[in-house]
Each structure stands twice: as structure tokens, then as C-alpha cells.
Amino acid sequence: MSYTGAQVRPLRILQITDLHLCPQPGDVMDSGINTDDSLQRVLAQVKQQEPHLDRVLVTGDLVHEPVPEAYQRVSRQLSPLPCPVHCLPGNHDDADLMEDTLAASNLHCGKILSLGDWLIVLLNSTVPGASHGKLDEAELELLEESLSRHPSSHALICLHHPVIPVGSPWMDRIGLCNADDFLGVIDEHDKVRGVLFGHAHQAVDRTRNGVRLLCAPSTGAQFAPRSQTPRLDDLPPGYRRLDLFPDGRIDTWVNYLPQVPEWRLCGT
């Protein structure tokens, strides 16, 4: 589904990622964080601090185990947001089940958004049964075709898996395994301004060939950066806000929940 309209101000985009809602509300990875509760608290902070959103982008791992009940709870939490919500799958998701379940709400799983001066492309980088990601030929062709059909639009590309090493050897082994193919496509299109991804459970902000490469923190637990093996960080749940300007500039901020005991399970 595409959305069009003249852009007269920056587009205000919210990225949330790696929600990891369980079959029943609960903890993931023994983090001490109830992911249903942490998502609710993140959305409450969004409502308070981000009153003028144009779109919400959810970049994968909506659930920890792909069952209808978990997707239904995702839908109930995200549906009240005052703008369209667009979701793409992560390695913990079942893309077909996700799309079928969310279709009953106002959540969208389309791949192409045309918003004023901006084109947003949402890709599926999942490999069934695997933690690493790969963009198959169909996804790469969709990306190439979309960028070629909108040569005057600034482009923001979204997927779940990191397209660059994030500095943690264990995470870098399960990133996008054909990142060179992806980067080769965007290198051919000078209007690509940014790439959004998840999976890393930490904030990332790098620049490559003038393109911002951005990851939001999880709405649940964060991974410690630059770690040799999986290790949780002390940072609380969070999200990323982006302003997309008509001239192609991206301004972005990461916001975390207050670091107080309420967002922990606290043994309950």
C-alpha cells in the first residue's frame, strides 16, 4: 500500500523494534523485563513525548514465539497509536502469520510507502529457521525496482538484520549475510538517505557513503555493545524518533524509559 501527499514539513517517524512478546506475557532471556509491560510503558512515553507522529515503523521480532495470541496482543497495544503503523518481520516472526493476524487491525505489512518527498521501502530479511538474515533475489529486485521508479524521492530502507558489523562478534555472525549485495544496490542510487534495522537490541548510528545506518534499542532488553558473547546491558527499553526533511536530511534521537525499578519484573 502506498501513501502520497505533498510534504510541507519534516515527516516525524517512530521506529520501535524487537518487541519479543511471548505466547503469554512474560520475561525473555531472563532479562527481568516483562515485554508486554515494557512495550506498554514505551508506548505511554511515546504518547506523552511524541504527539505529532506521521508513521510508526516496527522493524521485526514483534513476538518471541510466533503464535496468534502474541500477535493479537501486539495489535491491541499498537492499534491505538494515532497514525498508521507499518510492520516487517524479524527472525522470531512468522511473516505469513504476522500479516494474517495484523490484517484484522489497522496495522500494515505493505512494502512501499510514498510520503511526500520520501520513499520508504520495508524488506523481509528473514531466513526460515535461522537467526541470521538474507535478502533473497525477490527482495533485492523489489528494492532496485522501487528505487528506480522513484528517482526523485529521498529513500529510507527498512529491514530487520544489521547491514554492517555492530562490533559484537556473536551478533555480527547473525547479521545480514549478503549485506554486500544490499549495499551494492543502494550504492547505485544517490537518493538513499538512510537504512533502519533492528536485531542488535542497541542504538546504532553510523554513516556509510553519506547514508545513515540506524538501529533503535529494543522495547524490551538491550544487548551490551562490543561483547564477545551474548550479554545484557543495563539500559532500559527505548525507541528511535526520526525527522525526515524535504531536502533529504535526517535528524534522529533515541529515547529510553526512565531507569527506575517499575519497568522490571521485580520478582513478580
Look up cell 503464535; give the residue.
67
- Domain CATH number, residue 180: 3.60.21.10
Residue 131 placed within a domain: yes
Establish if 3 belongs to a structural domain: no
4 inside domain: no
pLDDT in tens, the chain (268 residues): 344 445 578 999 999 999 999 999 999 888 889 999 999 999 999 999 998 999 999 999 999 999 999 999 999 999 999 999 999 999 999 999 999 999 888 799 999 999 999 999 999 999 999 999 999 999 999 999 999 999 999 999 999 999 999 999 999 999 999 999 999 999 999 999 999 999 999 999 999 999 999 999 999 999 999 999 999 999 999 999 999 999 999 999 999 999 754 545 443 3
In this prediction the pTM is 0.94
Total of domains in the chain: 1
Structural domain of 216: 11-263
Q: Is 226 exposed, middle or buried (0-12, 13-18, 19+ CB in 10 A)?
A: exposed
pLDDT score at 3: 41
Indicate whether 105 belongs to any domain. Answer: yes
